[in-house]
Amino acid sequence: MKTHTDYLLFETEARQEFVRITDDVSRIVAASGVTDGMVLVSAMHITSGVYVNDWEDGLIHDFQTWLEKLAPAGLPYRHHQTGEDNADAHLKRTVMGHQVMLPITRSRLDLGPWEQVFYAEFDGQRPKRVVVKVMGI
């Protein structure tokens, strides 16, 4: 079995932003030389996540609206008593998930017809990373 590790770097302009990373992950898979296996895509920060869904602006807006209803910014969360101000970002990340495992078949991501990979930032405007770990034969 071979493995290959790479990183995606982000510093979003907005505090909350959704970034399509399918092409970046596909490029890393192709560079790995793995023809059959899996790729783990995992956010390395506790206020950002990775998820798979449809790439449609209305749906992305719906996610943002829904998450804001579930974990509104600006509430007096207990976490804020520690000097932080980003409890809502932690909660949103927990709902969306922090990593995905994707199949690789014939050296390519084996996604469904509408599936895309996204990086979800909930407390941005500073440097963050996503690890992409390819494993297989």
DSSP 106: T
Instruction: pLDDT band for 26, please (50, 70, 90 cuts).
Output: very high
Q: Are 2 and 47 in contact (CB under 8 A)?
A: no
CATH number of 2-136: 2.60.120.460
Residue 8 φ then ψ, to 5°: -105, 135
Mean pLDDT of 1-28: 97
Convert 64-93 to b/e letters by CB count within 10 Å (16 or more is b).
beebeeebebeeebeeeeeeeebbbbbbbb
Mean pLDDT of 38-45: 98
- What's the pLDDT score for residue 29? 98
| Domain map (residue ranges) of the chain | 2-136
The pLDDT tens digits of the residues spanning 84-122 come to 999 999 999 999 999 999 999 999 999 999 999 999 999
The mean pLDDT of the chain is: 97
Alpha helices in the chain (DSSP H): 22-32, 57-70, 87-96
- What's the pLDDT score for residue 70? 98
Instruction: pLDDT band for 32, please (50, 70, 90 cuts).
Output: very high
- What's the pLDDT score for residue 55? 96
Q: What global pTM score does this model have?
A: 0.96
